[in-house]
Amino acid sequence: MTATPPSRRRALRRVFALAGGAALVRSGVAQPATEPRVIEMTAHRFAYEPNEIALRAGERVVIAIRSLDFVHGMNIPDLGMRLDLVPGRVTRLELQPKVPGTIDFVCDNFCGDGHEEMHGRFIVSA
């Protein structure tokens, strides 16, 4: 995950406070009693599949992402995080959104003619 400048971190803390969202990537997370729901996703030129994922507020999930053809990016500006999706690896993104809403994500590694159409969103319901 890319380091975020202090000013941006402050802004993102505000976003988190407003959205009540939570997102963690891979390690450093205390293991809770129940396992999170795992949602598999693929990334390929020029789409995420699925590109709309329904979540429930408060639910812990892991998005397990496989890139099939390129080091695609996954930038989630509202959560202040981004990932490189390296082919041959499974990149795990842990989320626990707290309130309903929409969280957009976009490929931010230019991947060719169609890159601009590579985006998706998490739709969080109550």
Q: Is the dihedral of CA 9, 123, 29, 64 positive or negative?
A: negative
Instruction: Map residue 55 onto helix, strand or coil.
Output: strand
Compute the least distance from the CB of residue 37 to another protein, in Å. 25
**Phi and psi, residue 16, nearest 5°:** -60, -40
Q: Which CB atom, from 40 or from 117, has the smaller least distance to another protein?
A: 117
In whole angstroms, the minimum distance from the beta carbon of 111 to another protein comes to 7
Nearer CB in complex with another protein: 6/32: 6
- Of 40 and 116, CB closest to another protein: 116
**Reading across the β-sheet that carries 23-25, which strands appear in turn?**
23-25, 90-95, 61-67, 37-44, 47-49
Contact residues toward another protein (CB under 8 A) are 2, 5, 7-8, 71, 73, 75, 77, 84, 104, 106-113, 115-117, 119
